[in-house]
Amino acid sequence: MRLRKYTALMRSQIKVDLAYTAWYWASMFSVTMRLFILYFFWQAVYANKTDVSGISLSTMLTYAILATMIDQFRGGAGRDLARMIKQGAIAIELLRPYHLLDKLLAQDIGSKVSVLFRSILPLVLVSILFIGVDRPQSWLAGLAFVGSVLFAVLLATLIDLLVGIFAFYTVNIWGLSVLQDAVITIMSGAIVPLTLFPDWFQTISLYLPFASLVYVPVAIYTGEIGASGILQALLVQIGWLIGFFVLLRITFALAIRKVTVFGG
Amino acid sequence: MQPFAIKATGLTKHYQILQREPGLRGAIKALFRRTYRTKEAVKGIDLTIEAGERVGYIGFNGAGKSTTIKMLAGVLRPDAGSVRVFGLDPHADRVKNASQIGAVFGQRTQLFWDIPVQESFELLKEIYQVPKSEFDETLAWFREKLELAPLLDVPVRQLSLGQKMRCELAAAFLHRPKVVYLDEPTIGLDIEIKETIRHFIREMSDRWGTTVILTTHDMQDIEEVCDRVIVLDDGSIIYDDTIDQLKESFSHERTLRITLEEPVSFTLPTALINRVILFTTDELTYELAFDDRELSSGQVIKEIVSLYAVRDVSVSVPKMETLIRKLYQAGISA
């Protein structure tokens, strides 16, 4: 079975993530702290008003918490690829009977599973027990939310890998990586809903893939994207997925010829 | 079954090296205008290696050994020429070719850094789709030959260099590949581990008919593991023959070393002039090189002790190390 090697890679990535216990618990602790900071921040913003741009405190908190959760899944695979290229470990990877992109994807899924248990589960528990989040707009919205999150996480990985491939040409992609992080943080709606930005900014976001990463799934959950808009929102996400997948394959096939490994 | 394990013709690779003027000025200038220099790492080499052969691939640092190996393994794309490994183009058919080869790159690890060795092996088993029974048999065997038992549950980052290299070797042979590339597998290891590794490579190759390509700077490795030696210098092959042939061509050289009782002016006895080359080490010690087909060691010793008071005499036959050094020198002057 061909898939077996990729599931094995996925499982081994989970083992790697579990290998450092102190780091594991520290990440769990820090993500929980972040949640409380968010809570007190929005409490302070809403201290003297009942809504901001028509959004109530409980909706805003729900948005912020869900966005934080989805944002935990961001990135990793592209940085791994860039590091392999920079340190020359790519030579070993190219000796293996697997497609490197598939391998990175499999490992990425593995690390996302780790994130699920290390960060998301505690976040869900804390927000339900101590903070309280709104229920999804409808059961349909809840279901669509789950699907939309899956698409969003996968899309984030593909974008990250595409940026990583640039290391074949430039070796160092630190600057590009920082830029990518900044753009995604703002334009995906990971901090505040995109509807709080000026109209022109929202129009730009409409034509870029970043909104699909955080804003779309959360807006489906909160009902900002109503029942009639759900299907279209999901289709746009799938469109971006297919587009980036094809672009990634082509770029990789071209870039692989550029491999240079000096010495050793 | 293909007639050859590896066949390469006109294999060429050059690198673009960024030329940068020294100092801050040069660094700033390089931001705007880049000039590259082309370095030909491998200059159109031809190779034919048969299945089951063990080939020593040697040369100075920077001669192009690693580059050749990376082209044979499919990591680098040749700029010109072609390679076939059991009928496959290693770069175009990379994934397919990868399952029939194994490799150790002495300076890089292929094991998972953070998890125990055993888990790395289990993962390789899945990646190379090794059947469970075969995997168990192979691993049991490696445990014994490479003394792996105490290492299996230790994370790779906690292993010593020697322990790590034993595990790397096991990883390279785990899926019983048809060809194994070993790029400096004994670098920085102690004599005992080097011995273990050499035995292991020979034994594996005998057992499974594995073709072995070995690069090293330790001539002992070549002598004990390989049947054939290829010498690379500045991107071209300067020697390619069997080890026996190499030894044979130099085997008649003898070096006689004498130490005199007291410092006297030493000149060659007339009978030896033009038949012996004299090297002076210090005022008491002299080395005389000759061909044993022309003169016997006994004759030379006799001539000398009849004229001088000699304290000590020793005769040496050429070592691999000296042979190779001679080849390099011949290659450079040619």
pLDDT 10s digits, B48-67: 999 999 999 988 888 888 88
**Which of B16, B17, B67, B114 best tests the A interface by mutation, with the highest count of A CBs <10 A?**
B114
Q: What pTM, to 2 d.p., does this model score?
A: 0.81
Tokens of B209: 């008919």
Of A139, A143, A163, A131, the residue nearest A36 (C-alpha) = A131
Whole-angstrom distance, CA of residue B155 vs CA of residue B151: 8
Task: Test B66 with A263 for CB contact under 8 angstroms.
Answer: yes
Q: Where are the beta strands (DSSP E) in B2-65?
A: 6-19, 35-49, 54-58
The dihedral built from the CA positions of residue A127, A129, A135 and A139, taken in this order, carries a sign that is: positive
Contact A88 B108 (CB under 8 A): yes
Tokens representing residue A67 in the block: 């966005």
Cβ-in-10-Å burial (0-12, 13-18, 19+) of B4 comes to middle
State whether residue B75 sits within 8 Å of chain A by CB: yes
Residues contacting residue B249 through CB under 8 Å, at least 6 positions apart: none
> Does A261 sit within 8 Å of B76, measured CB to CB?
yes
Q: Is B1 helix (H, G, I), strand (E, B) or coil?
A: coil
Q: pLDDT tens digits for A209-254?
A: 999 999 999 999 988 888 888 999 999 999 999 999 999 999 998 8
**Considering only alpha carbons, which residue of chain A is nearest residue B157?**
A19
Q: Which of B75, B98, B119 sits opposite A261 (nearest CB)?
A: B75
Task: Select the residue from B88, B99, B110, B182 to test the A interface by mutation, using most A Cβ atoms within 10 A.
Answer: B110
To the nearest whole Å, the CA of B120 is away from the closest chain A CA by 8
- In this prediction, residue A263 carries a pLDDT of 43
| CA dihedral sign, ordered B326, B331, B332, B334 | positive
Cα distance between residue B68 and residue B59, in whole Å:
12
pLDDT of residue A261: 59
CB of A98 within 8 Å of a chain B CB? The answer is yes
Instruction: Indicate yes or no: CB of A259 within 8 angstroms of CB of B112.
Output: no
Left if phi > 0, otherwise alpha if psi is -120 to 50, otherwise beta: which for B87? Answer: left
Predicted pLDDT of residue B220: 87
CB contact under 8 A, B105 and A99: no
Q: Which of A53-62, A74-83, A255-264, B12-21 has the lowest mean pLDDT?
A: A255-264
pLDDT along chain B (334 residues), means of 10: 80 81 78 79 91 90 87 91 93 91 85 85 92 94 90 89 92 94 90 93 93 90 91 88 82 85 85 82 84 87 89 82 71 51
Phi, psi dihedral angles at A203 (to 5 degrees): -65, -45
Q: Provide DSSP, chain A.
A: -THHHHHHHHHHHHHHHHS-HHHHHHHHHHHHHHHHHHHHHHHHHTTT-SEETTEEHHHHHHHHHHHHHHHTT---HHHHHHHHHHHTTHHHHTTSSS-HHHHHHHHHHHHHHHHIIIIIHHHHHHIIIII--PPPSSHHHHHHHHHHHHHHHHHHHHHHHHHHHTHHHHS--HHHHHHHHHHHHHHTTSSS-GGGS-HHHHHHHHTSGGGGGTHHHHHHHHTSS-HHHHHHHHHHHHHHHHHHHHHHHHHHHHHGGG------
Instruction: Tell me the residue length of chain B.
Output: 334
Instruction: Give me the residue from B96, B105, B119 closest to A91, CB to CB.
Output: B105
Q: For every residue of A82-139, which 3-state class applies, written as one string? A: HHHHHHCCHHHHCCCCCCHHHHHHHHHHHHHHHHHHHHHHHHHHHHHHHHCCCCCCCH
For residue B176, the model assigns a pLDDT of 94
How far apart, in whole angstroms, are the C-alpha atoms of residue A58 and residue A238? 30
pLDDT at position A106, please?
Answer: 92
Name the residue among A62, A61, A67 with its Cα closest to residue A44. Answer: A61
CB contact under 8 A, A95 and B99: no
Distance CA B168, CA B156 (A): 10
Question: What pLDDT shows up at residue B330?
Answer: 66
Q: Which amino acid is at B228?
A: R
Residue B39 φ/ψ, nearest 5 degrees: -110, 120
Confidence of residue A85 (pLDDT cuts 50, 70, 90): confident
Q: What is the pLDDT of residue B327?
A: 73
Q: Which residues in chain A have Cβ-Cβ distances shorter than 8 Å to B115? A: 12, 15-16, 19
DSSP code for B155? B
| Alpha-carbon span B183 to B108, nearest angstrom | 10
Query: How far are the Cα atoms of A105, B103, B209 from residue A212, in angstroms, in the given order?
Result: 19, 43, 55
Other Cβ atoms closer than 10 A to A87: 11
Of B77, B98, B105, the CB nearest to A96: B98
User: Which residues does chain B have within 8 Å of residue A91's beta carbon, measured at their own beta carbons?
Assistant: 70, 75, 105, 108
Of B77, B108, B122, the CB nearest to A91: B108
- Among A66-80, A193-207, B23-37, the minimum mean pLDDT is found in B23-37
What pLDDT does A260 receive? 65
pLDDT: is B30 or A73 the higher one? A73
- Contact predicate A19/A13, CB 8 Å: no
pLDDT single digits (tens) A29-54:
998 898 889 899 998 988 888 888 88
Please report where in the chains the tokens 């580059």 appear, as a residue.
B67
Q: Mutual orientation of helices A227-255 and A139-165 as an angle, nearest 10°?
A: 20
- Cα angle B144, B147, B151 (rounded to 5 degrees) comes to 125
